[in-house]
Amino acid sequence: MPGGKFALLEVPDLNGGQPSYLRLGAAAPLGESAGDDLAERIQTFTDDTRKRDGSPDFVPEGERQAETAKLHTKGGWRDHSDGNRISTTAGDKVEVIGGNYRLLILGHGGGKTQAGWDISGGHLTEVSETFGGGTTIEWVQNYGGTWKVVETTIKGEVHTTYHGDVYDTYYGKIKQSQTGTDTFPTLQVTDDYLDDTNPPSPQAIPTENPEIIDKTWAKSISSYTGSAKLPVPTITNETWAEVMVSTTNATSMTDETTVKEASVSTMKAESITSSTTVDGTMEDTTKAKTIRNKTTADKIISETRADTEDDMYGDADSYTQGNSKTVVDGIETTINLGMVNEVVLGAMIETTLGGEVTFTAGGSLDVTIGAKVELSMTASVDFSVGPKLELGTAGVELHLSKTEVSLMNKVLSPFNLFF
């Protein structure tokens, strides 16, 4: 039992049985005096169990708890009032506390709610019913040893307005931001309920995903990620959405991408519609050692409405498996500066409805393996400057100098031999 000298100033019957007193000196046993039911609500400080191994002026956890255990037995100053306590100071007020300090405010709810703060071990911790969560402070060995503050806010509404410059700088191992969740809500969204009696566990928080609206007006916007001196090792962007709409309006636009190694682009869609409208000139430049284009489709329809100019430098190989038809509504001019090899493995039908002029300045080799039908409905001129040799299964023609001009020439014979 605590003992020792003390002085007691007491008004036992204040305003109908409400006691008030001031006790100086030795403490009375907890539970014998009025107001002890309130005093016994505070038995510990946050720093009693705070992790601070390795921190400056380290005090073991057992010694901190042992000192706090004497809180209600060391005596000193004890006062209580069942009425109100009002203190006014017209000048300065100085309070110096050599130990810890804890404030607990119960309000008018009969002790069902509580708020306050704990100042112990050189740190301030807030306790409030306004939001679930709180602040934890502990000593960690990161960065050579430092205090780490973890702040948790379970619910709240924040409106922030800045009139002035804002600078945000982050250093550390992780900077993580999350909005919403991809799990099913643990409570009905219409409930919007949290238990304020104790800080709720994450499983008890309604997980309604919000609507996000981001609007920006500025004189200029600059965004930089990494640098040429220190690029970011890995960047991953992943988007899942039901509907995506993107609109960009600009006076001019420059888009540049440089990839040192391979670049892979993949798109999968039920249908793709692409539209480009350019008032001026559209230029597309591609430089590569090898370009491979592969298209697989049931049908390809291509329409171009413009005068076209196609320049190709290099060998060209074209293979078509299936029927091929080319229709030219106009004049077609083909100039070959070199040898032309034409091989037809199968039937060949050429029909000219109009004038046809064939000019060969050099050797010409025409090999047909199979039936060949030539039909001309108008005048035809065949002129050769050099030798001409025609070979067939039943006919051989050799001309060193021959000119044929005919308005009508019809030859039907199963076997012709000319020398």
Q: How does pLDDT run along the chain (419 residues), one tens digit per residue?
A: 457 899 999 998 867 778 899 999 999 999 989 999 999 999 999 999 999 998 988 999 999 999 999 999 999 999 999 888 999 999 999 999 999 999 999 888 776 778 888 999 998 888 776 666 667 888 888 778 888 887 766 666 778 898 999 999 998 888 988 888 887 655 454 444 444 444 444 444 556 788 999 999 999 999 999 999 999 999 999 999 999 999 999 999 999 999 999 999 999 999 999 999 998 999 999 988 899 888 999 999 999 988 988 888 888 888 888 888 888 888 888 888 877 777 777 777 777 777 666 666 666 666 666 666 665 565 555 655 555 555 555 555 555 555 554 445 554 444 444 44
Alpha-carbon span 48 to 325, nearest angstrom:
91
Assigned token pair, 141: 């060995």
All structural domains of the chain with their residue ranges: 342-419
Q: How far apart are alpha carbons 47 and 117 in whole angstroms?
A: 12
Distance (Å, whole) CA 385 – CA 402: 9
Q: Which two tokens mark 292?
A: 């491979």
What are the angstrom distances between the C-alpha of 34 and each of 22, 41, 114?
11, 14, 20
Greatest C-alpha distance within the chain: 152
Instruction: Report d(CA 232, CA 83) in Å as an integer.
Output: 65
First and final C-alpha spacing in the chain: 146
CA distance 203 to 186: 7
Give the position of tokens 């004038």: 355
Q: Is the full-model pTM beyond 0.75? A: no
> What pLDDT is stored for residue 419 in this prediction?
43
Give the Cα separation of 332 and 352 in Å (integer).
13
Q: What is the DSSP string of 3-20?
A: -S-EEEEEEEEETTTEEE
Say how far apart CA 212 and CA 178 lie, in whole Å: 12
* DSSP reduced 3-state for 8: strand
Name the DSSP letter for residue 40: T
Q: Are 86 and 139 in contact (CB under 8 A)?
A: no
What is the chain's alpha carbon radius of gyration, rounded to the nearest angstrom? 48
Q: Which residues contact 354 (CB under 8 A, 6 or more apart)?
A: 378
**Residue 38 exposure: Cα atoms within 13 Å on the Cβ side:** 16
Q: How far is Cα 196 from Cα 129, in angstroms, rounded to an integer?
A: 6
- The confidence score (pLDDT) of residue 364 equals 62
pLDDT score, position 99: 94
Count CB neighbours of 35 within 10 A: 15
Answer for the pair 20, 11: CB distance below 8 angstroms, yes or no: yes
Strand pairing category for 372-376 and 348-352: parallel
Question: Which H or E run contains 342?
Answer: strand 342-345
Work out whether strand 133-140 and strand 146-153 pair parallel, antiparallel, or are unpaired: antiparallel
